[in-house]
């Protein structure tokens, strides 16, 4: 079984551990901890991305959109 928890570090407590133990019972488990990064925050952290996103928004507002057929794109 594979489960992902998205919680704040301050929410890690005995109750969380008890629930985790209940969920996995006597199974061996691996625990990996990594910082959750907000995707929007990540994209806006790079000036080049900000510029590209702003240009894309302006194009969309002007009606300059590109249609993509996902079915065809995935076959390439």
Residue 48 lies in a domain: yes
Mean pLDDT, range 29-34, rounded to an integer:
92
Residue 68 lies in a domain: yes
CA distances from 32 to 4, 5, 23, 27, 37 (A): 10, 11, 17, 16, 15
Q: Residue 75 above 70 pLDDT?
A: no
**Do the beta carbons of residue 12 and residue 35 sit within 8 Å?**
no
pLDDT category of residue 76 using cuts at 50, 70 and 90? low
Please state the domain count of the chain: 1
The parent domain of residue 22 ranges over 9-73
Alpha helices in 1-76, H assignment, sequence order: 14-24, 39-44, 47-61, 70-73
What's the confidence (pLDDT) of residue 35?
87
Q: Residue by residue, what is the 3-state secondary structure of 58-74?
A: HHHHCCCCCCCCHHHHC
Distance CA(10)–CA(34), nearest Å, equals 14
């Amino acid at each position: 079984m594979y489960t992902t928890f998205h919680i704040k570090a301050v929410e890690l407590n005995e109750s969380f551990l008890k629930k985790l133990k209940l969920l996995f019972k006597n199974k061996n488990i691996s625990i990996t901890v990594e910082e959750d990064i907000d995707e929007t925050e990540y994209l806006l952290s790079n000036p080049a991305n900000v510029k590209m996103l702003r240009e894309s928004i302006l194009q969309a507002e002007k009606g300059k959109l590109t249609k993509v057929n996902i079915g065809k794109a995935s076959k390439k």
